[in-house]
Structure 1
Amino acid sequence: MSNRELIVLGTASQVPTRARNHNGYLLRWDDQGFLFDPGEGTQRQMVHSGVAASTITRLCLTHFHGDHCLGVPGIVQRLSLDKVPHPVHAHYPASGAAYFHRLRYAAAFHETAELREEPITGDGVLATGGFGTLEARRLAHPVEAYGYRLVEPDSLRMLPDKLAEAGISGLQVRQLRRDGHLDVDGRRVELAEVSVPRPGQKFAFVMDTGLCENVFTLARDADLLVIESTFLDTEAELAAQVGHLTAGQAGLVAAECGVRKLVLTHFSQRYPDLELFRAEAAKHFDGELVVAADLDRIAVPPRR
C-alpha cells in the first residue's frame, strides 16, 4: 500500500508567530522520509505530529538562512539519541559546508547515528533508488539555494482480467514483464496486451527564490508542489528585491506547469489573513490548492 503524504511542521518565514513555527516539511514517500528545511522547533513539531526520528532517511536543505536550518542540531542529535539504525543522507549547498559542520556539532552529544553528507555542487541528480530520482536545481536567492524534485519512474499496471484471458499466471507474469512477450499455447502475447501505463508520481519543493526558469523546471507536471509564497502581490517589488515569490506568482507557476495539487507556505508574519494568499493564487490556478497550516497532513494525489 502506498503511503505518500506531506506533514507540515512549520509555515512561517523569517519570524515565527504564535500560530506558525519556522519551516519544516516531512515527506513520507512509501518507506522513505524526506525532511526538508528544518527550522527552529522542528523536533518538537515532529512530536506534535507523531513523527519519529527513525522516519527520516534524507535531510534536504535548500539554503542556510536560519529559518530553514536552525533545527538541524536538534534533528541530528535526536537521530543518535533514538539510535536510528539506517544511514541518513544530508543534502545541502556545498558553499555552506562550514555552516552545516557547525550545525551538526553545535553541542556536545554521543554520535551513534550515521549521517552521510552529500553536498550539492550544481544542478542535477542527487540520488536514485527504489523511491525514484531526487534532483536539485539552483534558485534565485541572495545566498546559494536549491529546490528539490522527486520523480518516480513510469511503469506498467498489469490487468488481471487480461492475464486470465491469455492464460498467464504466477511466475509467467514476471517473465512477461522481463521479456516484453510470452508464448502461450502457440500464441505470442505482447506485454502491451495485458497492461496499461502507470505514470510515476512527481513531487517538487521550492523555497526562497525569485521567479526564474528553474522554478518552472522543478514544478513541471508535479503531482504535489510545495512552494513559498512569502508575500502578496501588493509587495511584488519587495519580493523581487529580496528573492522571494508572491502568492500570485506561485499560482502562475502551478498553472503553467500542470501541477495537480499546490501547497502555499512560508508566509511573512505581516499577514494575519492567509485566505488572501488563496485568493491571489486562485486567480491563476484552478486546481486543488492548500494554504498550509502547521501540523497539516496533505496527501499526495492519487495516481493519474
Structure 2
Amino acid sequence: MSMRELVVLGTASQAPTRTRNHNGYVLRWDDEVICFDPGEGSQRQLLHTGVTSIDLTRICVTHFHGDHCLGLPGLIQRRNLDRATAPLPVHFPGTDAEYFHRLANASLFHSTIEVRPEPVGHDGQEFHTRAGILRARRLRHPVATYGYQLIEPDGRRLLPERLAAHGIDGPDVGRLLRDGSLDRDGRRITPAEVSTARPGQRFAFVMDTGLCDNVYALAEDADLLVIESTFLERDAARAAEVGHLTAAQAARVAAESGVRKLVLTHFSQRYSDAAEFAAEAREHFTGELVVAEDLDRVQVPKRRPAGAAAPVTG
C-alpha cells in the first residue's frame, strides 16, 4: 500500500534546544523516501521513526548552513554501515559543491556505497524521480539556497466496472494502457472510456529565505507545504535583515497560493511557546495547519477530486 507522509526529525533553527533537534525531514511518497536538510542528529532521530538509512532514495540540501547539513556525514556513513546497495542521489547548490565533498568525506571510513552528487546549477532545474518532477527554485538568503517542489504528473484511475462492461481484464488491461487503445467487438476502446482523471499532487519545501517570488512559485497549489517560520511578526525587521520568514508571512504565502496543508517549522530558540506561531498563522490561513514538533508524522492530504479547484484559504 502506498504511503505519503512527512516524518519530522527536527524543527530548530541555528541551534538545537532541549526540546527541538536541528532540522531534518523525511518525505515518504510511495516508492520515494527523500530526506530534506539533514541537520546534526538526524541519524539518531531516524531511530525513533522506523525509517532506516537504507530506505532513503535521495537527499535534498537547501543550503550549507550547519543546521541544514551537519547530519549528512552521519547519514552517509550509516548507510554504508547498513550495507545499502542502491545509489543515493544528493541534490545541493552547485556553487557550493566543495562543502558537499567536505561533508561526504568528513572522517575516515571504508566506503562501499555509491553516493551520486546531482547539484543544482540554476533556478528551475528539474530532476526526474519515481514520484514525479523534483524542481529546485532559488531563494533569497545570504548564501546560495534552493527550495524544492515535487510535482506528480496527472494520471488516470481505471474503473473496474467500466473495464468489466467492455469485457477487458487480465493482460488486456496492460495492452490498453501500453498501446493507447484496444479493439473489442468491432470497436476501438481508449483508456478515457474506462478510467477517470486522477490529478497529480504537489509537495513544497521552503527553508531559509526572505520573501520573494520563488517562495510563491514553490508553494503554488501545494497539497503539503513545509515552510520555515523562524520569527514571529514582532521581529519582522530582524527576519528581513537575515533572510528569513515570519509565521504571518508563511501563512499569507500559503493562503495566496492555494495550499491545502501548511507545516510551519525552523523555529528560533528565542521563542518558548509554539502556540504563538499557530495564533499568528491563523490570522491569515484557515486551512489545515501544523506547527511541527520533533518526530511528528504529517499525512499528505487525500487527492483532490478531478476538476476541483484549489480552495481559497485566506
TM exceeds 0.5? yes
For 1:39-50, list aligned pairs within 5 A. Answer: 39-50=39-50
The offset of 1:133, in angstroms, is 0.9
Cα root mean square deviation, aligned: 1.3
Amino acid across the alignment from 1:8: V
Match of 1:132 in 2: 132
Match of 1:214 in 2: 214
Match of 2:281 in 1: 281
Amino acid across the alignment from 1:208: D
The offset of 1:173, in angstroms, is 2.2
- Whether contact under 8 Å (2:141, 2:209) holds in the other structure is yes
Using the size of structure 1 for normalisation, the TM-score is 0.96
Using the size of structure 2 for normalisation, the TM-score is 0.93
In 2: Cα distance, 1:229 partner to 1:82 partner: 35
Query: 1:205-226: CA deviations, max 9, x gaps?
Result: 0000001111111111111110
Amino acid across the alignment from 1:98: E
Match of 2:67 in 1: 67
In 2: Cα distance, 1:120 partner to 1:191 partner: 37
In 1: Cα distance, 2:302 partner to 2:247 partner: 25
Q: Which stretch of structure 1 is more off in the superposition, 13-22 or 26-35?
A: 26-35
- Whether contact under 8 Å (1:70, 1:103) holds in the other structure is yes
Question: Are residues 7 and 236 of structure 1, via their aligned partners in 2, closer, same or farther at CA, if it must alter by over 3 Å?
Answer: same
The offset of 1:72, in angstroms, is 1.2
Match of 2:204 in 1: 204
Gaps of 5+ in 1: none
Match of 1:33 in 2: 33
For 1:150-161, list aligned pairs within 5 A. Answer: 150-161=150-161
The offset of 1:179, in angstroms, is 4.0
Query: 1:141-195: CA deviations, max 9, x gaps?
Result: 0101000011111100011111212222222222332344433212333432221
Match of 2:308 in 1: none
Match of 1:230 in 2: 230
In 2: Cα distance, 1:54 partner to 1:175 partner: 35
1:165 paired with 2:196, answer: no
The offset of 1:127, in angstroms, is 1.8
In 1: Cα distance, 2:302 partner to 2:45 partner: 27
For 1:159-198, list aligned pairs within 5 A. Answer: 159-198=159-198
In 1: Cα distance, 2:262 partner to 2:16 partner: 22
- Whether contact under 8 Å (1:39, 1:69) holds in the other structure is yes
Match of 1:108 in 2: 108
In 2: Cα distance, 1:199 partner to 1:249 partner: 28
- Whether contact under 8 Å (1:84, 1:113) holds in the other structure is yes
Match of 2:261 in 1: 261
- Whether contact under 8 Å (1:11, 1:22) holds in the other structure is yes
In 2: Cα distance, 1:178 partner to 1:56 partner: 30
The offset of 1:82, in angstroms, is 1.0
Gaps of 5+ in 2: 305-314
Amino acid across the alignment from 1:276: E
The offset of 1:36, in angstroms, is 0.7
Amino acid across the alignment from 1:14: Q
Percent identity for Structure 1 against Structure 2: 64
In 2: Cα distance, 1:251 partner to 1:9 partner: 22
Match of 2:291 in 1: 291
Match of 2:312 in 1: none
The size of the alignment, in residue pairs, is 304
Match of 1:7 in 2: 7
Secondary structure of the equivalent of 1:56?
A: coil
In 2: Cα distance, 1:24 partner to 1:175 partner: 43
Query: 1:223-268: CA deviations, max 9, x gaps?
Result: 1110000011111111111100110111111111111111000000
Amino acid across the alignment from 1:271: Y
In 2: Cα distance, 1:125 partner to 1:66 partner: 24
In 1: Cα distance, 2:54 partner to 2:126 partner: 22
In 1: Cα distance, 2:181 partner to 2:110 partner: 55
